[in-house]
Amino acid sequence: MRAIIPAMTDLEQELRRAVEGDVRFDAYSRLLYSTDASMYQMEPIGVVVPRHAGDVQAVLEIANRGNVAVLPRGGGTSLTGQTVNRAVVMDFSRFMNNVLEVNEEELWARVQPGLVQDELNHHVRPLGLLFGPDTSTSNRATIGGMLGNNSTPAAPTRSPTASRWST
């Protein structure tokens, strides 16, 4: 126990210096992120809410140097404990949730990983387009989480799973 606490404090300080987004190591935040939609509960080391790709890179570099696990999280709707662990949880859903570019001719969109599926479809529906793996959690599930889980449509359709939509 004595050995772990100073290391955690060093990690938090290093993250605070390098990251523009939120760095939360307080007990309330760790409790909040210790559960997802599954039956599992595990307290993370801390939580980072990145604002941009530079923050993500900084977290990965710092965690790698300290040999600490990093766990990305979108909507946290996974059912088998995918987003809870003894790790630095990175929550993409708060700030990194934008549509960056849609190419109507070539049928692709560039988005940030915290974008919710329904938000993407709301954005592209006027173009007659749809991101197809229609999960029943589509108003919470993020594109990053859908790819992480290789999400599938709730009902039988001809739409492929999430990873078949990505390049």
- Residues 19 to 38 in contact with ligand FAD, rule: CB under 6 A: 36-37
From the list 120, 116, 117, 119, the residue with the least C-alpha distance to 134 is 117
Q: Mark residues 99-118: x for contact with ligand FAD by CB under 6 A, - for none.
A: --------------x-----
Q: Is residue 154 a contact residue for ligand FAD (CB under 6 A)? A: yes
The amino acid that residue 110 corresponds to is: R
Report residue 161 as tokens.
């799973």
Examine residue 72 and tell whether it contacts ligand FAD (CB under 6 A).
Answer: yes
Binding part of the chain for ligand FAD, among 6-14, 16-24, 44-52, 79-87 by CB under 6 A, reads 79-87
Task: Locate the DSSP E strands across 45-113.
Answer: 46-49, 70-73, 88-91, 99-103, 108-111
Q: Which of 121, 88, 108, 84 lies closest to 165, judged by CA?
A: 108
**Interface ranges with ligand FAD (CB under 6 A):** 36-37, 71-79, 82-83, 92, 113, 135-137, 140-142, 144-146, 148-149, 151-152, 154
